[in-house]
Structure 1
């Protein structure tokens, strides 16, 4: 993992023409989850170049072609959607399934818009991948975990930060002891609706989300 991080491995790939800042192994795991869950909505915090939104939309397109929800959507949220990224996302063929909101994921007014968008959708999959500090991720978990119902997933990326060397992120506000994994641990201590999916974790030998694939056990 140290070697992969040093070479910026997660920045090496694209999905349908857009940079996707993920490990291929995690994308395959996410594909398996999307197929199993058959969500009506995938909600993601963190957009960057849009590759992850395009990936999710294309998975929903495949689900629909195989008899899944025909009108399933992707909702992406980012505090700063750069104009050139927005332009590329909006002209992509998969944009027909995508809606984007610009704003902070921990702003109560923005969260209210997300909940309104989700409305009465039966099966929502939530992916958190924005600011990686403990406090930020903890607040996202508090605001959006209620969207996820039994059988679906709440996925928290970049929990691997806790397992990296102390000096791995000198220019970032997160690091060992203050990151998505510490937020997940705190969240799970007080919430019995979710558990870490150990089956997924055990087969992912290389992942940026150890302890980050959370399965919802009950509504």
Structure 2
């Protein structure tokens, strides 16, 4: 086989992966963590399906922006709503509130968020699709009444089309002081593992939804301001407002 000509070599763009060894090991360890420990976590005794590093990431975000309103999709057992409520109390934000949305309400979440000492921070437990007009109208009214930044955390169904529709629906609720966070962008890398066994996740996942959204919505951009390394399921899923919607 002959050596490539100088012209061929010059025309071929250089392609280098920075910190390739660290990047490869991080992806591998994230696969292990997501499959072996993601669903085993708890917050104040309540199951919360997040990696510990991601809970710290969310803590840094809430501490930095001090939101007047946190809107999360995906209630499950209520652990994440309780997590956000406890941060609001620790940050001495007694007027701030949490809205949690899920297409169905578990008995565990219903009991927890009705009786826990911090339940008063949860303004609404909305049962229905996050894209239901009545759900969006309730969120919109709460956003309009909020006297401060809004944090939106999208963490329910992870199919690309659904996440894209959520991004389009919830983006108008976030101003330049708030943030829009999309969970589980790592599903693009986890496809085929036990926690994400569906082949469709290779091409339809939260990361592809963000890419499509950002290509059509220059009002938002990714930010790594709150990312400090570690194992994360959504380190590339933090979006900030940089222009009008």
TM-score normalised according to structure 1 size: 0.90
Contact 1:152 1:215 survives alignment (8 Å): yes
Q: Are 2:238 and 1:213 equivalent residues in the alignment?
A: yes
Partner SS state of residue 131, structure 2: coil
- The aligned residue for residue 85 of structure 1 is 109
Q: Are 2:158 and 1:97 equivalent residues in the alignment?
A: no
- The aligned residue for residue 76 of structure 2 is 48
- The aligned residue for residue 123 of structure 1 is 149
- The aligned residue for residue 74 of structure 1 is 98
The runs of 4+ residues in structure 1 deviating greater than 3 Å are 165-168
Distance 2:162 2:242 in 1: 24
- Give 1:93 deviation, angstroms: 1.0
Which is higher, the Rg of structure 1 or of structure 2? 2
After TM superposition, list the pairs within 5 Å mapping 1:1-219 onto structure 2.
Answer: 1-7=30-36, 9-64=37-92, 69-98=93-122, 99-121=124-146, 122-166=148-192, 168=194, 169-170=196-197, 172=198, 174-201=200-227, 203-218=228-243
RMSD after superposition: 1.7
- Give 1:101 deviation, angstroms: 0.5
Unaligned runs of 5+ residues in structure 1 are none
Distance 1:123 1:159 in 2: 24
Partner SS state of residue 118, structure 2: helix
Distance 1:194 1:33 in 2: 17
Would you say how many aligned residue pairs link Structure 1 and Structure 2? 212
1:159-196 deviation per Cα after TM superposition (whole angstroms, max 9, x unaligned): 001112445533x5851110111000111111122211
Contact 2:66 2:149 survives alignment (8 Å): yes
TM-score normalised according to structure 2 size: 0.81
1:14-50 deviation per Cα after TM superposition (whole angstroms, max 9, x unaligned): 1112111101111111111111111110000000011
